Amino acid sequence: MVGRILLLVAATFVVSTGMAPPVSAMQASCTATEFNIGLCVTPSVGDSDVTLGIDVKQPGTPQHPWVGGTDDTDTGTGPAPDVCATPASNNSCPGAGVFRDPFTITMVPPATQPITLADIASFRPTTGISGMEPNGWMIVGLDTNFYSTATTQVVDGALLGQPASVRFTPVGWRWSYGDGAAATLRTPGAPWAALGVAEFSATSGSHVYRAPGTYVIDLTVIYEAEYRFGAGGWTQISGTLGLPSNRLTATAGSASTVLVERECTVNPHGPGC
């Protein structure tokens, strides 16, 4: 209070006289301008000492970089929350030391390597059945019709320890006819009746045997695979997967040896009926 009175008296003296009040020995280092605007303050007035407390806030003074202020200056409103106002790095805020209070930083799991066919070995689709017409026998020189019932399937299970689904889509049918011939087809084929054609007609899946004998026919169904976690989108897996279907064994002969002499009206279960 005394300091403020002194400043008021100094200002009054200048206004009324146009002159600065007498300068004491303690004020000898002050200029007249500093004295007139109140920056030259004597530490003692009369017989008692007076301490003038001046709190100067300088813009840009660093504070703890915690959320709580609108900028990086101390607002003087009390301690700020222990939350970094800017992205943290190495358990510290930019421009400051280590956090005052320990806390847990949640790390984003590193990206996993691409899923491969080896990763989905525990997911196994059923390959359906492979069939042929006539069933179990064929006539040398005539078309024998082969087909497969393999279709797209979704198999559920655990992948990398997480619930997942794998979708298998057949894209190829690799036939080994047992006579040294083989073919990879893009369609599964179908029975003659489903195709609407007569028996022994040539089809996309038919094969002609040229010599009598017993033959073992194998089919490998080729699949493309996709996976997804939960209800997420499907992701393609590189490569294809070949799975064996059931094996067929059949005997080829001439028409005179495999066809019965009686008509189908008499023996409806005979070959060709």
For residues 92 and 101, the answer to whether their CB atoms sit within 8 Å is no
Domain range annotation of the chain: 2-49, 117-258
- Can you give the pLDDT at residue 168? 98
For residues 190 and 147, the answer to whether their CB atoms sit within 8 Å is yes
Distance (Å, rounded) from C-alpha 262 to C-alpha 264?
7
- Can you give the pLDDT at residue 113? 74
42-86 pLDDT, tens per residue?
A: 544 444 443 334 333 444 434 333 333 444 434 444 444 444 555
Distance (Å, rounded) from C-alpha 15 to C-alpha 205?
116
Q: 3-state class of 108 per DSSP?
A: coil
Strand pairing category for 213-229 and 248-253: antiparallel
- Can you give the pLDDT at residue 203? 96
Distance (Å, rounded) from C-alpha 30 to C-alpha 28?
6
- Can you give the pLDDT at residue 221? 97
Distance (Å, rounded) from C-alpha 228 to C-alpha 115?
10
Q: Is the pTM of this model over 0.85?
A: no
For the domain with range 117-258, which CATH number is right: 3.20.20.10, 2.60.40.10, 3.40.30.10, 1.25.40.10?
A: 2.60.40.10
Distance (Å, rounded) from C-alpha 16 to C-alpha 39?
20
- Can you give the pLDDT at residue 93? 52
Alpha helix positions (H), the chain = 2-17, 32-36, 192-195, 255-258
Residues facing 217 on adjacent strands: 248
Question: Which residue stretches of the chain have pLDDT < 70?
Answer: 1-112, 256-273
- Tally: H helices and E strands in the chain: 4, 13
- Can you give the pLDDT at residue 5? 41
